[in-house]
Amino acid sequence: MRIKKKTVFIILFLMVLSSSLLLIREGGKKEVVIYDVAVIIRGRNSEEWSIMKAGMEQASLEMNVNLRFITLLEENSVEEQQDYLQREISSGADAIIISPADYTELSTTIENINKKTPIVLFESTIDTKQDIPYISCDNYELGQSLAEEILRNGNTRNRIIIAKSDLSCSSISDRYDGFIDEISNSKNTYDVVDLPTDDSKLYSKVRSIIEEKEGQVLVAFEPSVLEALGRAKKYIINNTNIEADIEIYGTGRTSTIISLIEENIVDATAMQNDFNVGYLSIKTAVSRIENKKLDSKINIVSTLINSDNMYSKENQKMLFPIAR
């Protein structure tokens, strides 16, 4: 009888001890805080944003962020971005990351929101005196590097056709300015062609430029336009007797652009490290939520990709980043 009581006492003692250890362990755990962060891009849900999104998703996993990635129905729509900004404020977002569609029109809205909710700008910026973090490469230098590549390839007295995009967006405008300033130092001439926003009309316009041999070099400052230039040239080469010897240069990275460079349809593209842009945008948003000190401008590495250097180790990392 005495043995049974002793056994019961030991079992009860072990149960109490294990419960105490569990409580101590639970009490020692740090509470996990999850931040709600909204990302508003300035375009539709296209591949050109996919690498940035991958960088954001990687950072969100590491930093306990609930990420909402918001795309537009219309490219560079200020009205849509304004609506989404107000919606996310009403939803209680802890921070908002945005690629502004317009350098001036969104300034007041973003500045007012930034007084209460942390804002991070990426890829494009706004006209502001507030200390709002901005993550991007130097887009002016990106435009310059594109002009320098054209000159390196022997274009010294040629006619260059510039496919003009919507310059209300700061990143595109800066690339354009950098390119014009650099190419103007040469003896090349250039014409600026306004392109339609409708995809089918854009493609038709590009085909007519190439078929009518309006210039020796064709330049674009947005990935979607560069893709259209490359597809049109490839179609003409494969389906007509027209000699499409025009050189094509542009900015950005998509799988289509990479393939067109491999096929020597597109001569070169200037691009930034999109994965790092996405990753650091989330990291910066979390730092702002936690009131940590940070730089107002975070410069991202950029490079120029052509068929000669695209297989280098460093460029492969930029073209095909792998989440860790």
Packing angle between helix 223-239 and helix 255-262, nearest 10 degrees? 40
Two structure tokens written together for 116: 């209460």
Q: Coil, strand, or helix at residue 196?
A: coil
Give residue-wise pLDDT tens across range 93-102: 999 999 999 9
The helix, strand and coil proportions of the chain, stated in percent and rounded to the nearest 5, come to 50, 20, 35
CA–CA–CA angle 170, 272, 205 (5° rounding) = 65
Q: Which amino acid is at 76?
A: N
Is the domain spanning 35-137+273-301 CATH 3.40.50.2300? The answer is yes
Give residue-wise pLDDT tens across range 231-286: 889 988 898 888 888 999 999 999 999 999 999 999 999 999 999 999 999 999 99
Q: What is the dihedral of CA 158, 162, 163, 169, to 10 degrees?
A: 160
Query: Is the CB of residue 70 less than 8 Å from the CB of residue 96?
Result: no
The β-bridge relationship of strands 247-251 and 297-299 is: unpaired
**pLDDT higher for 295 or 72?**
72
The predicted pLDDT at position 224 comes to: 87
Residue 72 has pLDDT above 60, yes or no: yes
CA–CA–CA angle 268, 272, 277 (5° rounding) = 155
pTM confidence score: 0.86
CATH superfamily placement of domain 139-271: Response regulator (3.40.50.2300)
Q: Range(s) for CATH 3.40.50.2300 in the chain? A: 35-137+273-301, 139-271
The predicted pLDDT at position 22 comes to: 52
The β-bridge relationship of strands 268-272 and 302-306 is: antiparallel
